[in-house]
Amino acid sequence: MPAALMQDELFRAFSTYALIVILKMMMMSFVTAYCRITRGAFANEEDVSCRSAEEKKKMLRTDPEVERVRRCHLNDLENVVPFVLVGLFYALSGPELSSALLHFRVFAGARIFHTFSYLGHLPQPCRALSFFLGLLVTFSMAYNVLSNVFAI
């Protein structure tokens, strides 16, 4: 039997959007792995153990594209995790459904566009704008929660 929370339309919507951005973030692991393999740039000795000594040396290196993917993944961690945590308090604090949906949708859109901007080398300010839009949504939710439940 699902907890009562999951009967709530707003909490279901929050769960859906939170899962979408978390899954998007986890996809970055596959992008990193793909990039490491196609570019032959590994970080750990055991990943290249079946190669000759000379090849090993070449393959244990940092590659600019791999580092870019890793920065994108770290940026997701720095933004998606706060969104989900702040969003949890926000969803529990009883906002308007329409206003909450707007927050969730803008954030999900902004972060998906951020990933495309980052990995696709799109010219600035694509990446910067999508980054700030995501931050703005999280700050707006945090403001809503604090103005409701502030207790220090």
Which whole-number Å values give the CA distances from 56 to 35, 44, 63, 95, in the listed order? 17, 10, 15, 56
Between 46 and 54, whose beta carbon lies closer to a second copy? 46
5 binds a second copy (CB under 8 A): yes
Q: How far apart are CA 31 and CA 79, in angstroms?
A: 18
Site residues (CB under 8 A) for a second copy, limited to 41-70: 43-47, 49, 67-68
To a second copy, the closest distance from the beta carbon of 98 in angstroms equals 14
Helix, strand, coil percentages for the chain (3-state, nearest 5): 80, 0, 20
- Torsion, Cα of 32, 74, 112, 137 (10° steps): 170
Site residues (CB under 8 A) for a second copy, limited to 73-92: 73-74, 77-79, 81-82, 84-86, 88-89, 92
Q: How far apart are CA 140 and CA 136, in angstroms?
A: 6
- Chain residues binding a second copy by CB under 8 A are 1-3, 5-6, 8-9, 12-13, 15-19, 22-23, 25-26, 28-29, 43-47, 49, 67-68, 71, 73-74, 77-79, 81-82, 84-86, 88-89, 92-94, 118, 121-124, 127, 131, 135, 138-139, 142, 145-146, 148-152
